[in-house]
Amino acid sequence: SELLSLQIPPSTCHWIKDFLTNRPQHVKHGSHLSSSILLSTGSPQGCVLSPLLYTLYTSECTAPHPSTAIFKFADDTTAVGLITDGDEAAYRAEVSNLSRWCSDINLTLN
């Protein structure tokens, strides 16, 4: 629904959903290969589409306060704030809002 709200054509939305759903994944360490599991969350690491999908998925992430800003590049997001006269309230509120927003859409902060 996020992609449809950005006016991405339905056929493209269906293709992306099919691409991201039930992807087999395994781990190779040296000559050892784990058994495969199916994933239906996230996007594949190293996939050329992953940064674009992240940008589209997080397009609604904006800073509502004029003294704060949200910067995004590839799959990184940073909250930046101007703290005046030691008043951190707006910045702390922005970080709290960003954390809550990420939790609401199942993104993990690190």
> pLDDT by residue for the chain (110 residues), tens digit each?
778 888 999 999 999 999 989 999 999 999 999 999 999 888 888 888 888 888 888 888 888 788 888 888 877 888 888 888 888 888 888 889 889 988 988 888 87
Q: How far apart are CA 37 and CA 55, in angstroms?
A: 27
pLDDT at 14: 93
Task: Give the 3-state secondary structure of residue 110.
Answer: coil
